[in-house]
A and B are shown apart, each in its own frame.
Chain A
């Protein structure tokens, strides 16, 4: 499978990366080189092999159902580029 510039634009949109036409054109052969290389995995017979989910076997722990890490609003907001009235502020989303 190989990608063209339209597909690269689509992936960039999904990835939320603004990209100029020149950047898209430069990205096309790079992605194709890497995708072409990883396609050698097609040689491996994986029929009947379950995809690996946990690299070291262990039981998933459940956390106690209690509220924690609260009461730190100011610490949470401290690094925000824009915080107002105790909230993260973003550009207007509702017209």
Chain B
């Protein structure tokens, strides 16, 4: 059975159930693809035996008629998720070798649904980055290349860069990602795949290494919209162990899929026409508007007046929460410990953290500590939370006039490794379109829309009202059907 690793989750599930191939064949195909894909550095840990064991359970379940929703489907899990007995390091040296004695709720939900695990996926350290270059394991290389004849190594985006590359390269049919300010959507756009961040609170954060707790949200990344719906349905759900978990039933998003958008109004925010964004991206945005019109929707111009303040707001709130969350890495309970000769406990803390954290993490801890420190708290943190309330209000007012919002996902196509590393502010701008929805806790998705002149994927971004994942998925499906995006990275690895 060749090319099983290029099928969608729905195709694998349905083919497996129909007896066209076994779960073992699926697992073997992906295990081989993971091994062959090592030059991309997408996986930090490979767990082929786990994938095989779950496949055998699935094959037995098919015999006994006891199938679960994801029986026979092996997945990649971002290294931010605690996986019992398997290294969970958040891409950081400070957690190297950490084997949690527990399983995150999201990955446990996927396992309960029958999914196997192919391995843990590389990521920016503690999810802080937009290019995967801050990972302690080194950057992930995108399977995509520019068509300019050069051979530049490109970023798959970040922080879920290993997740994105794994799907794009056929090394997993679907994966978990997490999104704090665009970490699912930007890498999905860069690699020509689909990814959705649900409403804040849909997926439990329990067992996910915390970056910025008021923003972090898990979501799936996969080849298409249907696969995202399938995975999200299994990942989401109330969890009493997460105080921000929403106590609501999980809708049947896959069964609810429909690309008929008659009667839907699509908001086009005028503030998202930003100087310096390439014409090709604005042209794709215009095509997206036409596709949604073709599906029956009516575009309406809306205003989100505080858009330009979203990034600076994010870069106060996220580091502030991170500096607090990352205080737990002190060399006492888990992870690295550095003990300077003759040093006391304070010296151990400081040395451990200096040795264990990379440059970007240190930068954000420093910013976060500063904005929370005595004398500056109100000027920075409280101010940012007030602006965040205005950003939230902008969306609330916009959704009185429209059902969904369409924008580009990222202000550029994938860039080359090292091209932006030296300029943190330029790197932060990558998430200019993604961050506002994160600050407002809204569901948002990236769907591939086309290729740029260099042959690289570009994404379209849909933002929905609170709890309206179905609306987002449906509009995503309408775009997917019309964009006809079938391009794949040509295999060079």
9 contacts between A and B (CB under 8 A): A1-B379, A11-B366, A17-B357, A33-B424, A46-B383, A79-B98, A82-B337, A90-B332, A91-B345
Report how many residues on chain B are interfacial, defined by Cβ distance under 8 Å.
72
Per-position contact with B for A5-34: 1 when CB-CB < 8 Å, else 0?
A: 000100111111111000000010011011
Per-position contact with B for A74-89: 1 when CB-CB < 8 Å, else 0?
A: 0110111110000010
Q: Could you say which residues of chain A place their CB within 8 Å of the CB of B251?
A: none
CB distance from B395 to the nearest CB of A (A): 11
Q: Tell me the complex Cα distance, A66–B295, Å.
A: 53
Q: Which of B246, B390, B425, B440 contacts A37 (CB 8 A)?
A: B425
Contact B386 A55 (CB under 8 A): no
CB distance from B464 to the nearest CB of A (A): 13
Which chain A residues have a beta carbon within 8 Å of chain B's beta carbons? Answer: 1, 3, 8, 11-19, 27, 30-31, 33-35, 37-44, 46, 49-56, 58, 60-61, 63, 72, 75-76, 78-82, 88, 90-93
- Nearest A residue (CB) for B386: A46
Contact B350 A52 (CB under 8 A): no
A27, A30, A56, most chain B CB atoms within 10 A:
A56
Q: Does B261 count as interface, using CB distance less than 8 angstroms?
A: no
Contact A17 B313 (CB under 8 A): no
Q: Does B31 count as interface, using CB distance less than 8 angstroms?
A: no
CB distance from B173 to the nearest CB of A (A): 30
Which chain B residues have a beta carbon within 8 Å of chain A's beta carbons? Answer: 98-102, 199-201, 214-215, 240, 243-244, 246-247, 306, 308-309, 312-313, 315-316, 323, 327, 330-337, 339, 343-351, 353-354, 357, 362-363, 365-367, 369-370, 373, 376, 379-380, 382-390, 392, 424-425, 439-441, 466
Q: Could you say which residues of chain B place their CB within 8 Å of the CB of A60?
A: 243
Q: Tell me the complex Cα distance, A52–B396, Å.
A: 14
- Nearest A residue (CB) for B339: A91
A3, A16, A53, most chain B CB atoms within 10 A:
A16
